[in-house]
Amino acid sequence: MTPLAITNARVIDPASGFDSIATVITRDRTIAHIGQESPPADAQIIDATGLILSPGLIDAGVFRADARACHAGGITGVVLMPDQSPPLDDPALIAFSQAMGKPDVWVHPLAAATQRLEGHELAEIGLCQAAGAVGTATGRRAIDSTAVMHRLLSYSRAFGMLVVAHAEDTALTAGAVATEGDYASRLGLAAAPAFAESLAVARDIRLAEATGARLHIRQITTAESIDLVRAAQGRGVAITAGVTPAHWLLNETSVADFRSFARLSPPLRSDNDRRAVEAGIADGTITVIASGHDPRTQEEKRLPFADAKPGMAGAETLLALTLSLVRSGALTLPQALHTMTAAPAALFGLAGGTLSLGSPADLMLFDEHAPWRIDGDRFIGAGNTPFDGLPVAGRVKMTIKGGELVWHAQD
């Protein structure tokens, strides 16, 4: 391959702390040099004056591996949830999922924790791990049975596998489409209490503590749940937590006028919970930020609120929405990038997320301050988003995968 030299960018490597104007040279799909060295004579040169260069984003927990949307969002790797058709409960399905995105986007599948994601019998997660699964997940819903969840965590620990859990007490959330409170009552929406999440978090923390397993709560959205995770981390439990931008930028009032694009899972919470999520990110209790990319069709969204499918497109807006944490002062820019690069790479044992020499040349060039307005109708992928019309700043200019330019903004 022709070497690639990116010059004059502010280079940020969240994994090592490197942050300086530098030249990055890639060769044979890997990072070959970072510093002030002149580009080799045979290199393709990209002058990135005024732009920031970082590792490509790793989106941890998507429901669709949409390569074009990922490229527009600076995403070079995704961790794929097992909620596919059919569910990823078989080694052959894991191997197929792992291969389907190459060479454009590396897909790292999670094995279904139970057969057909039904929550009853454990899937062959050991064989799925051997086929390439980077962990095992309960999927869009929690496992109801404490006994099954206990077996899952015990079994996963034996294989050294991370368990990714959806946290909710399904006996309380069955049929609910909103968070219980005055607002849901005024709208007449079937609702569940916010503590349905913290009940499940408390159970799963206790089981993880008893088994010694590694547990990741994919989305944590309430103040009580965050307090539980913070306390568990303090006493050494191997638990981590993630979140998506909607749960620190929006609250339950976003479903006004029955806006089905704001129907999410978990549902939007109170403003106290929203503020607690931002505080949990700021203090490091929440270490992973992901898009939750789960685009729905117009037929699935343009329905009465209670009938609409939960989910939103998020890959193309992940960077811009996360940069809101930098402008609010909750995180520095390197810290914000860490939540989407080095943190998910370390959590799932992936090779990316860093600019260290010899690492994959998966890169993102972006303008931190470029203003734009989110417009779902102009998304490259499916366009349902609760942020439609929101003015934001921060735009991906180029996405580089394995040392090759795979996406370039059309300014």
Please check whether residue 52 is in contact with residue 376, taking contact to mean a CB–CB distance below 8 angstroms.
no
DSSP string, 230-264: HHHHHTT--EEEEE-THHHH--GGGGGGG-GGG--
Share of the chain above pLDDT 70, in %: 100
Residue-wise pLDDT tens digits, 285-315: 999 999 999 999 888 998 999 999 999 999 9
CATH of domain 56-348: 3.20.20.140
pLDDT of residue 305: 93
Phi, psi (rounded to 5 degrees) for 248:
-115, -5
As a whole number, the mean pLDDT across the chain is: 96
What kind of fold does domain 4-52+360-371+390-408 have according to CATH?
Answer: Urease, subunit C; domain 1 (2.30.40)
| pLDDT of 411 above 80 | no
pLDDT of residue 1: 84
Structure tokens at 229: 């995770």
From the CA atom positions of the chain, what is the Rg in Å? Answer: 21
User: pLDDT band at residue 205, thresholds of 50, 70 and 90?
Assistant: very high
Q: What is the rounded distance in angstroms from the CA atom of residue 227 to the CA atom of residue 250?
A: 20
Domain ranges of the chain: 4-52+360-371+390-408, 56-348
**Contacts of 139 by beta carbon, 8 Å cutoff, 6+ apart:** 81, 82, 83, 87, 112, 113, 117, 166
Please check whether residue 176 is in contact with residue 191, taking contact to mean a CB–CB distance below 8 angstroms.
yes
Tokens 């979140």, residue?
A: 243
| pLDDT of 85 above 90 | yes
pTM beyond 0.85: the answer is: yes
| pLDDT of 383 above 80 | no
Q: Are 4-52+360-371+390-408 and 56-348 the same fold in CATH? A: no
